[in-house]
Structure 1
Amino acid sequence: MRLFSKLFNSRRSRRDLHVLATDLCYSLEDLRHLWFNSCYEAFNVEAGEGVVKYLNDNLVGEADYAMRAYQLYLVSGFLAEHSYMEPSMTKEFISVLRQQILGTHLDECLLYYGRYSETNEGQRLSHFCKDITKHITGGETPMTESLLLLSRCFPILFNVTHMWVAKAFDDHETVHKLEDNFKKTYERTVTEWNDKALPILYEFYEDENQAKS
């Protein structure tokens, strides 16, 4: 990966970093909303036909801050894992991403970012899933819904976020591995949810995959 890093540094300017960050952020923004909507649908499928149980189907407020912060945490981790750039450029790229992903609610989002980054993986996932569940249910964090989000929804968010980062840097080997993981996770999850929870998210994946290929 060091060879790839040198090629990137020799071919891209700092202006390219901003363009790359902007393109990546557009994909991540779409993914945030579609993933959240899929979680909402999954909760209602689990509740049963004709049951209107959950209150909030829009990604706003605290849930939006939590989503932005967690995406930034994931992307930062993926960049560190793959070493696509030299450390100085990686630091600058993450700084640009932070401004674009967190937007005008920097302080609010950074509170969540600190909460997620200062705990171990198990606690981090638990905090994030409870934050999203609490918003959807209107203030409660039922164990069933939190576990549903953790076991069925989160793996898709993790894989697709990682995939967009790899695509942004033309890391085709990683992209192919993640595509296989995504399809397996999607097929298993949709079977469990009777084909109602994730079709829109899968269509987004297919459209983005064609556009970026």
Structure 2
Amino acid sequence: MPRTREEARFRHPRHERRGEARLPGVAATLIAIALYLFLPQRLLIAPRYVLPALEGVLLIPLVAINPRRLTRQTRAFRVLSLTLVAVIAASNLLALGTLIHDLVSAGVKDGRELLVASLQIWLTNVIVFGLAYWELDRGGPVSRTQAPREELPLADFRFSQDENDDAVQEISDGSSKTSDWVPTLMDYLYVSVTNSTAFSPTDTMPLSSRAKFLMSVESVAALLTSLLVIARAVSILR
């Protein structure tokens, strides 16, 4: 274990500039696409394979640019990555809106299908907002590992590691200031999970207006899914 903060910084130089691994982001995106693909047809805004095919087309060049680690970033890369997240988010929110509309106006009778669909939408919501936070915070995953801290855009989120440098050594050695720690996709997915279950921030605080807006949209969508859709589905099953 490093004995001083200077030694900790030397030992952990921002992931050794290797960049964040590409696989977790691809896996999360493919899971979100698959969850949408298996929704009931009446919740889809287009033929079943149209949006998943579009999302796959957007994903392919992103993987080609950074096949193993996220170290290269261009304007086209940023536009493609943000567009992909926006398409997944919009299609999932529209599916949620259709599901709520059907519940209110059409009197859906198949409670089991409704329950499964609501869980698919909730899980996709967690994944896509986690991806959105990951893509936006501090300029995105490439900037967070490849750019010096003084050149990073303002942070959208404040993690506990960002303020732990004055704690006991075994905690402070892993802080942002001491070890040059930066959040990865798993950290943003955790933020998304806690926001979708607690309907509010927990240990990670939104700082920017866009982060607060996104977390508000996610919380409301999760609240509607949990209280209205799932409760209605369970009542139909009884």
TM-score higher than 0.5: no
Task: Specify the structure having the higher radius of gyration (Cα).
Answer: 2
Q: Structure 2 length as normaliser, TM-score?
A: 0.29
- Give the TM-score normalised by structure 1: 0.31
